[in-house]
Amino acid sequence: MQVDENLPVYPMGIAASILEVHPRTLRIYEEEGLISPCRQGGKRFFSQSDIAWIKCLRSMIHEENISIEGIKRLLEYVPCWELKNCHGEKRNNCVASKKGEKRCWEFSKKTCENSCKNCQTYSNNQEK
């Protein structure tokens, strides 16, 4: 049985456990506009795609030494798979770059309010 990768099935505690982070870390990412988990009855739920994106974020922060503010700025201009230079097999297996991929402004809603209005790619997609 195939499970939809975008189905929010993991509550905050389980997601934090899978990611080996404190739940507060996930709240900070949400406050910063880097993630937007589904809310049901006031509780946050995460999908497999969310988990993959958070792993990518953690990698950029801890392995590439990019600050949260730096990630937010970069996401204003490019999608995550270009930031991480994901090619070939790695990108083909990445849930963020598969069908239903999120565009850079969808990952970073808070940071894009001003700069995306001037982005040709954003403007073209808003007209569709």
Instruction: Decide if 73 contacts 111 (C-beta within 8 A).
Output: yes
More confident residue, 4 or 70: 70
Is residue 120 situated within a structural domain? Answer: yes
Per residue in 55-111, pLDDT tens? 989 999 999 999 999 988 887 777 666 665 666 676 666 655 554 445 544 544 443
Is residue 44 situated within a structural domain? Answer: yes
Report the pLDDT value the prediction gives residue 80, as an integer from 0 to 100. 64
Is residue 1 situated within a structural domain? Answer: no
**What is the arithmetic mean of pLDDT over 43-53?**
91
pLDDT band at 21 (very low <50, low <70, confident <90, very high): very high
Q: Is the pTM of this model over 0.95?
A: no
Is residue 114 situated within a structural domain? Answer: yes
**Tally of CA atoms within 13 A in the half-sphere of 35 that contains its CB:** 27
Report the pLDDT value the prediction gives residue 94, as an integer from 0 to 100. 61
Is residue 2 situated within a structural domain? Answer: no
Is residue 3 situated within a structural domain? Answer: no
* Residue 114 three-state SS: helix
Alpha-carbon span 46 to 52, nearest angstrom: 10
Q: How far is CA 119 from CA 3, 56, 75, 124, 125, in A?
A: 35, 24, 12, 9, 10
Percent of the chain with pLDDT over 90: 38
User: Domain of 60: which CATH number?
Assistant: 1.10.1660
In the chain, the number of structural domains is 1
- Domain housing 18: 10-126
Alpha-carbon span 14 to 114, nearest angstrom: 35
Alpha-carbon span 9 to 125, nearest angstrom: 29
